[in-house]
Amino acid sequence: MTTTPLRPFRFALLLAALLLALLFTRGPDHNGDAVEYSLQTIALVRHASPDIRLDDIAVAKQLVPSRIPVYELIEHDMVTRQPTLYAAFTRGKDGQVYAVHFFGYALLTALPFKLLQAVGAEPFRAYQIVNLAMVFILGLSLYRLFRSGPKALLGVALFMLCGGLQYWDWGSPECLSAAALLAALVLYCDGLPLAACLLAGLASLQNPTIVVFLGFAPLLRLCLHYEPGSGWPGVLAALPRGRYLVALAAGGAVFALAPLFNLWQFGVPNVIAKLFSDPGLINGTRLHSFYFDLNQGMLIGIPGIWAALLLLGWRGRPRAERQRNLALLAVCTVFSLALALPALAVLNWNSAATGEMRYAFWAGSAFLFPLLWRLRAWPRWPVAPLLAIFLVQGVATWQAFGYNYVHLSPLSAWLMERHPAWVNPEPEIFAERNTHNDAMLLPEQVVALSVDGPSQKILYNRSNTAIGALLCGAGNTLAEEDNRTSHSMRGWRYLNGPVHCHNGAGNADRTLAYADFKQLQTQLLVHGWATPEGNGSDWDGVWSDGPTSRLQVALDRRHPPTTVLVAGYYFKGNQRTRVYVNGVDLGWHNLQDAQPLPVPAAVAEQGQLQILLQHEAPGEPGPNDTRHLSLFLRKVVLH
């Protein structure tokens, strides 16, 4: 693929026009750390200091009504002088309230915020403007790299398909950090070290890990400019000196602003590391998750980039170029590890993401850079491979918008449902995406894979001595020799496949009622149920919700039940239920006048009782209750 020349000024105008058009496609998304940065920006605009005051919160509540509940939590803690403030806020030595993130990003947004406010526009578009301004700088950097407008535009488009489209409109600095880091890599290796290091320093103000750029940039430049066979003189010639060393020092000075402020106000170089990180979390499970998790890992963010790095630039290329490509890829891989490792220590590291996690987005620049540099060496870009890269990245981007960080990705859910032992996510990720709740994972929790069908994957902690009773019933235990178990971090384990039990009473008798419904939830009430209700008398149980409902009960293979009784009350318009047990149709039955039903003999081999209830006429109880009710399940009796 060849391109026609596009003069720098015309290229800049075209890129600015394209980014301006993107700006008007949607409004700001108050996601990520937007609560912090919104208050910081308002504070800087109102009183030129980053401390958060009650009047700032009042303004924020007017401007961002969707975040009023969170703002009120902070407001309450400030008014009542709570010793510990709402997460992500703390007090400085002066007693004032500050966000734990440095205010550099908010400082960048303050001027456009004030200008937009003055003309009556949405002031929080300032975040979008600042994010896209950094994408604009990236575009200029790529124009310098390729000396071609069309190629630079393709480079910007590729960046946007590697996470940029997911994060450019956030009131949080992910897009700015990723674009600044990629531009810094390009400019440092292309002969503009001062601009590069200032950009990296700016990015590191909000994501301090990016400071490792200052150590890796000289190595990357060495890989690109060292001439094979030149020996140590060639190495020394490629090492930084003069303006490159000055640039590195300047980048370090910019980075130092955040830790110096932290030392001054909080007495530590990084208050986030003090309050919200645990070095013990840096382990192989989290590292694997960072790169390969099918819900949030780098793999689902830049699959096309990884494939291109492995497949392009090797066959038919000069030996020296292949060696340079290999060295650059190796250093960039280590660079990405240096960016990743500190992120693994963050307690709530997977909070708020669209597709790949935020840390993986900007760390992915370490892989996008060597591909762009590799393409620079080719006068004609290969059309078919390039189209394939864009297609793969386009699909990855489209998939990312299909779920959020408290839901499983479609691919992950599909694999775990069919091959539960193949995918064992980091426990926090599995728990939050199956309970659909961003909360701390506690050792007593038991979490099952939430799918439309029998759950074949359960997470529990080995310190939970009640796990046998929870999954198998009081007095019963897990059949360790029959269950397939995968070990994860900090004592967490996965049960993959059907749960097998030992019945402590030596028989199949078991009654499941309200207490079990409430305790087991998704392990027992697999699909099609509302929240269990304790109303007293005979109205303790759970309503069905939808056209079908599923139950799943772990059994003792040695003592399988011969009958099952499903008992409950009907919602108006319902008089019968069609019952399936392990796929066998037992016909329509009145479960309000419940009678024991036969259990197929094959259940003994399967080790699980799977009951599907097909409801007669689900109905809504009222205009403000959207549930579709049929059966109020009171109990399930095995014999």
The DSSP-derived string for 43-73 is: HHHHHSSS-B-HHHHHHHHHH-GGGHHHHHH
Same domain, yes or no, for 229 and 273?
yes
3-state secondary structure 374-389: HHHCCCCCCHHHHHHH
Q: For 357-491, where are the E strands, in sequence order?
A: 447-448, 457-461, 477-478, 484-487
Same domain, yes or no, for 481 and 561?
no
Last residue of a domain, one of 343, 367, 401: 401
* Res. 41 pLDDT band, cuts 50 70 90: very high
pLDDT at position 137, please? 98
- What would the pLDDT profile of 194-243 be if each residue is shown by its tens digit? 999 999 999 999 999 999 999 999 999 988 887 666 666 656 666 677 89
**312 part of a folded domain:** yes
pLDDT over 90 (residue 521): no
Question: For residue 57, how far is the Cα from the chain centroid?
Answer: 28
CB 39 within 8 A of CB 102: no
| Residue the block writes with tokens 């939808």 | 546
* Res. 293 pLDDT band, cuts 50 70 90: very high
Residue 279 phi/psi, 5° resolution? -55, -25
Residues 6+ apart with CB under 8 A from 384: none
pLDDT at position 503, please? 79
Q: Between 527 and 185, whose confidence is greater?
A: 185
CA–CA separation, 283 vs 275, rounded Å?
20
**27 part of a folded domain:** no
Same domain, yes or no, for 481 and 544?
no
> What is the per-residue burial (b if ≥16 Cβ within 10 Å, else e) of 413-448?
beebbeebeebbbbbbbbbbbbbeebeebeeebbbb
What does the CA dihedral 167, 169, 174, 177 come to, rounded to 10 degrees? 120
Residues 6+ apart with CB under 8 A from 76: 82
- CA Rg value for the chain: 29
pLDDT at position 522, please? 64
Instruction: Write the single-letter amino acid at 42.
Output: I
- What would the pLDDT profile of 574-627 be if each residue is shown by its tens digit? 999 999 999 999 999 999 988 999 998 888 777 788 999 999 999 999 888 989
**457 part of a folded domain:** yes
Give the DSSP H/E element, type plus range, for residue 127: helix 125-146
Rounded mean pLDDT of the chain?
Answer: 92
Question: Token digits for 493?
Answer: 């384990």
**240 part of a folded domain:** yes
**384 part of a folded domain:** yes
**25 part of a folded domain:** no
CA–CA separation, 300 vs 395, rounded Å?
10
Same domain, yes or no, for 311 and 444?
no
Total structural domains within the chain: 4
pLDDT at position 231, please? 63
- What would the pLDDT profile of 548-577 be if each residue is shown by its tens digit? 999 988 888 888 889 999 999 999 999 999
CA–CA separation, 362 vs 375, rounded Å?
21
CA–CA separation, 225 vs 235, rounded Å?
9
Last residue of a domain, one of 377, 401, 425: 401
Sign (positive/negative) of CA torsion 181, 184, 189, 194?
negative
Same domain, yes or no, for 385 and 425?
no
**266 part of a folded domain:** yes
Alpha carbon distances (Å) from 149 to 7, 143, 161, 306, 462: 7, 6, 18, 25, 58
Same domain, yes or no, for 152 and 105?
no
Same domain, yes or no, for 367 and 498?
no
CA–CA separation, 523 vs 499, rounded Å?
10
**22 part of a folded domain:** no
Same domain, yes or no, for 554 and 593?
yes
Same domain, yes or no, for 525 and 603?
yes
The mean-pLDDT minimum among 230-239, 307-316, 523-532, 595-604 falls in 230-239
Same domain, yes or no, for 311 and 429?
no
Among 320, 395, 343, smallest CA distance to 162 is for 395
pLDDT at position 379, please? 85
Same domain, yes or no, for 179 and 284?
yes
Residue 389 half-sphere exposure toward CB, CA atoms < 13 A: 27
3-state secondary structure 165-224: HHHCCECCCHHHHHHHHHHHHHHHHCCCHHHHHHHHHHHHCCCHHHHHHHHHHHHHHHHH
- What would the pLDDT profile of 362-384 be if each residue is shown by its tens digit? 999 999 999 999 999 888 888 99
Domain range spanning residue 154? Answer: 8-16+129-401
Question: Token digits for 387?
Answer: 């189209």
Among 456, 374, 372, smallest CA distance to 413 is for 456
pLDDT at position 230, please? 62
* Res. 516 pLDDT band, cuts 50 70 90: confident
Same domain, yes or no, for 139 and 112?
no
Last residue of a domain, one of 480, 503, 526: 503
pLDDT at position 127, please? 97
Q: What pTM did the predictor assign?
A: 0.87
CB 489 within 8 A of CB 286: yes
C-beta neighbour count of 41 within 10 angstroms: 29
Strands 492-496 and 484-487, bridge-based pairing: antiparallel
CB 277 within 8 A of CB 347: yes
* Res. 163 pLDDT band, cuts 50 70 90: very high
CB 339 within 8 A of CB 212: yes
C-beta neighbour count of 398 within 10 angstroms: 12
